[in-house]
């Protein structure tokens, strides 16, 4: 992460705020054109090196807008879910780090395409899954309502997704196995050391602490961000933004007022 912090200071101005919103909008446009209007738009945007060499350079990126499902119910569910996850990850990491995470997903999917010999049409399916796994690591105890009825924690849904990946690794084709392994490298780069050490992130620790307090007393709202200097949270100041300091030794978070005006912790 220190390397990313250095990159952010140098190239952060080029990052795209609300990136997930634009990706979801692209998915909606493609879905309407392909499945409601009958236009063969997917044929114009899927990744194909031959067409790219002929000048259709948009195909380098446009394949991420291919909907992961033709079913209207599953499509609506997917775009709402991944927009919410992407927005929360961007809020947690900051715009630049989220952009890097998604960009690495794009690059690794393209690499997987070439390793497999180009015997596939790549979509954002496994890239979206890497977003979900990242969210599950940061917020494992957040509850979703499965089918709007059954409450289930994110960490259990993540376990189901991992089981799905393992089944595909065992039963899938060589191309599928390559795509799964390579396209999830961005997740491993961001969380590999944390998973290896079995260390909880500061967000997880704070969430668990506040959950214990909730059980012991009156209901309270859970704050995910807290400034290490002034104690401000998103509950006390909904307009505040928070970032981690790359110069502090540990996961210390600060509001924008104190991000560049505090004594670094060593």
**65 and 25 within one domain:** yes
Q: Which band of pLDDT confidence, cut at 50, 70 and 90, is reported for residue 19?
A: very high
Give CA torsion, residues 208, 235, 88, 156, to 10 deg: 30
Same domain? 167 vs 222: no
Same-domain check for residues 46 and 137:
yes
How does pLDDT run across 76-96, given as a tens digit for each residue?
989 998 999 999 999 999 999
Q: Distances from the Cα of 170 to the Cαs of 113, 156, 160, 178, 204, in angstroms?
A: 19, 21, 15, 12, 32
Tell me which residue has tokens 């960009």. 103
- Counting the structural domains of the chain, the total is 2
- Report yes or no on whether pTM surpasses 0.95: no
Q: Look-up: residue for tokens 């990850």?
A: 89
Q: Which domain holds residue 254?
A: 202-259
Task: Give the percent of the chain with pLDDT over 90.
Answer: 36
* Same domain assignment for residues 159 and 224: no
* CA distance linking residue 110 with residue 181, whole number of Å: 12
- What residues contact 25, with CB distance under 8 A and at least 6 apart? none
Distance of CA 123 to the CA centre of its chain: 15
pLDDT in tens, 46-73: 999 999 999 999 999 999 999 988 999 9
Residue 266 domain-assigned (yes or no): no
Q: What is the mean pLDDT of residues 110-132?
A: 88
- Do 253 and 188 lie in one domain? The reply is no
Of 51-55, 77-81, 136-140, 242-246, the range with the lowest mean pLDDT is 242-246
User: Residue holding tokens 């780090």?
Assistant: 97
Beta-carbon contacts of 7 under 8 Å, excluding residues fewer than 6 positions away, are 96, 100
pLDDT at 1: 57
Cα 216 to Cα 95: distance, rounded to the nearest angstrom? 36
- Mean local confidence (pLDDT), 190-197: 73
Q: Is the pLDDT of residue 197 over 70?
A: no
Alpha carbon 249 to its chain centroid, in Å, reads 25
pLDDT beyond 90 at 36: yes
217's tokens? 């007393």
| Tokens read off for 183 | 């396209």
Is residue 12 domain-shared with residue 103, that is, in the same domain?
Answer: yes
End-to-end CA distance of the chain: 16
* 23 and 100 co-located in one domain: yes
The confidence score (pLDDT) of residue 206 equals: 59
Residues 180 and 153 in one domain: yes
Domain co-membership, 62 together with 129 = yes
Same domain, residue pair 32 and 164: yes
Tell me the DSSP string of 91-108: HHH-HHHHHHHHHHHHHH
What mean pLDDT is predicted for residues 168-172?
87
Supply the mean pLDDT for the chain. Answer: 84
Is 252 found in the same domain as 174? no
Q: Is the dihedral of CA 15, 21, 24, 25 positive or negative?
A: negative
Residues making up the chain, counted from first to last: 266
- Give dist(CA 263, CA 266) in Å, integer: 9
- Mean pLDDT over 33-46 rounds to 95
């Amino acid at each position: 992460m220190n390397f990313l912090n250095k990159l952010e200071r140098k190239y952060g101005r080029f990052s795209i705020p609300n990136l997930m919103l634009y990706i979801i909008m692209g998915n909606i446009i493609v879905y309407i054109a392909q499945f409601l209007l009958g236009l063969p738009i997917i044929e114009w945007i899927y990744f194909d090196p031959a067409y790219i060499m002929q000048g259709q350079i948009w195909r380098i990126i446009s394949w991420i807008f291919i909907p992961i499902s033709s079913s209207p119910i599953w499509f609506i569910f997917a775009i709402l879910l991944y927009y919410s996850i992407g927005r929360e990850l961007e809020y947690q990491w900051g715009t630049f780090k989220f952009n890097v995470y998604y960009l690495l997903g794009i690059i690794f999917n393209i690499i997987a395409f070439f390793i497999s010999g180009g015997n596939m049409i790549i979509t954002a399916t496994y890239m979206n899954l890497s977003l979900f796994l990242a969210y599950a690591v940061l917020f494992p105890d957040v509850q979703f309502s499965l089918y709007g009825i059954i409450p289930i924690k994110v960490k259990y849904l993540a376990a189901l997704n991992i089981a799905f990946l393992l089944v595909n690794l065992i039963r899938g084709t060589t191309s599928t196995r390559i795509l799964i392994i390579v396209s999830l490298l961005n997740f491993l780069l961001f969380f590999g050391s944390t998973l290896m050490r079995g260390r909880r992130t500061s967000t997880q620790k704070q969430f668990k602490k506040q959950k214990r307090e909730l059980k012991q007393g009156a209901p309270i709202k859970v704050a995910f961000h807290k400034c290490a200097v002034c104690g401000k949270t998103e509950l006390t100041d909904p307009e505040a933004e928070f970032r981690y300091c790359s110069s502090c030794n540990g996961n210390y978070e600060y509001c924008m007022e104190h991000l560049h005006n505090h004594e670094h912790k060593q």
